[in-house]
Amino acid sequence: MALFLLMVMLTACAASPQDLSGKMFTFPQQTNSAHVRLTTSRQVLSAVTVCFRSFTDLRRDHSLFSLATPAFDNEMLIFNGASNNKYDFWINNKNVDFIGHDYKVNTWQSICSTWDSVSGLGQLWLDGKPSSRKFISSGSNISGPIIIVLGQEQDTHGGGFDIKQSFVGMMSDVHLWDHILSPCEIQNYMHHLNFAPGNVLNWRALEFQTTGRVLIEDKQDINTCY
């Protein structure tokens, strides 16, 4: 009975979503362990849009969004190849590079990536500017069990972290949809206007678990001072 109650409590804890509006995750030091795991009940995705904002001064490679399945550690990965001035977008362990985006340090940057399994095309938007639309992988869905990690890059299902690819800085406003947002919807996200929150991950009702030194803090936004 006690064990049953404990399990109910643990389940309740894990399952209670939090509204993180106006908040951010702070990853204050380089480690191979500190991370946030995001939970969703959705386990099959035939199209995706992921959007988030990040702030960092990293000039080395780092992971921004790492989704792994038992089949592929890079099932869906957004990786900043800062040392080569590019963004890598991985789907089904295949990747394309997006170059020429204006990667800025010490600035909040909005990133959205889209992909669908029918065309296989991926695209990456940085601060409202689109990339070329490039072929990554078609014909297979993302199918779980999926594990989504912020702050580290998975090389196994839920682990295999590398300190040299860890994220140091702040992240906020993470949303994941099971379809492709239109260019105008992406602009609405980027400009903090009205948009329908993610139906797979929703920053306003986020189920997550932090491990190690990751803080939930009020988002610092100097634009709201005046």
Q: Which does 61 bind (CB under 5 to 8 A by kind): ligand NAG, Ca ion, none?
A: none
Among 6, 7, 44, 71, which residue sits at the site for ligand NAG (rule: CB under 6 A)?
A: 44
Q: Cβ of residue 154: shortest distance to ligand NAG, in angstroms?
A: 22
**Beta bridge pairs of residue 86:** 81, 99
Q: Which amino acid is at 22?
A: G
Stretch that binds Ca ion, among 68-76, 104-112, 119-127, 177-185 (CB under 5 A): 68-76
Footprint of Ca ion on residues 138-197 (CB under 5 A)?
Answer: 155
Compute CA distances 26 → 83, 104, 191, whole Å.
22, 18, 22
Contact 121, 135 (CB under 8 A): yes
**Residues comprising the chain, all counted:** 226
Residue 71 touching ligand NAG (CB under 6 A): no
Contact 170, 25 (CB under 8 A): yes
Q: How many residues touch ligand NAG (CB under 6 A)?
A: 5
Q: Which amino acid is at 188?
A: N
Helix (H, G, I), strand (E, B) or coil at 81: strand
Residue 199 touching ligand NAG (CB under 6 A): no
Q: Cβ of residue 130: shortest distance to ligand NAG, in angstroms?
A: 25
Stretch that binds ligand NAG, among 1-9, 31-39, 65-73, 133-141 (CB under 6 A): 133-141
Q: Which does 140 bind (CB under 5 to 8 A by kind): ligand NAG, Ca ion, none?
A: ligand NAG
**Beta bridge pairs of residue 35:** 211
β-strand pairing of 44-45 with 215-218: unpaired
Which H/E stretch holds residue 8? helix 2-15
Residue entry with tokens 């960092």: 56
Q: Cβ of residue 189: shortest distance to ligand NAG, in angstroms?
A: 24
Stretch that binds Ca ion, among 73-81, 91-99, 106-114, 204-212 (CB under 5 A): 73-81
Rounded Cα gap, residues 55 and 115, in angstroms: 24
Q: Is the CB of 74 or the CB of 202 nearer to Ca ion?
A: 74
Q: Cβ of residue 143: shortest distance to ligand NAG, in angstroms?
A: 7
Footprint of ligand NAG on residues 142-161 (CB under 6 A)?
Answer: none
Q: Which does 46 bind (CB under 5 to 8 A by kind): Ca ion, ligand NAG, none?
A: ligand NAG
Residue 33 touching ligand NAG (CB under 6 A): no
With b for 16 or more beta-carbon neighbours within 10 A and e for fewer, the 150-189 pattern comes to: bbbbbeebeeebeeebbbbbbbbbbbbbbebbeeebbbeb
Helix (H, G, I), strand (E, B) or coil at 40: coil
Residues that bind ligand NAG (CB under 6 A): 44, 46, 139-141
Residues that bind Ca ion (CB under 5 A): 73-74, 155
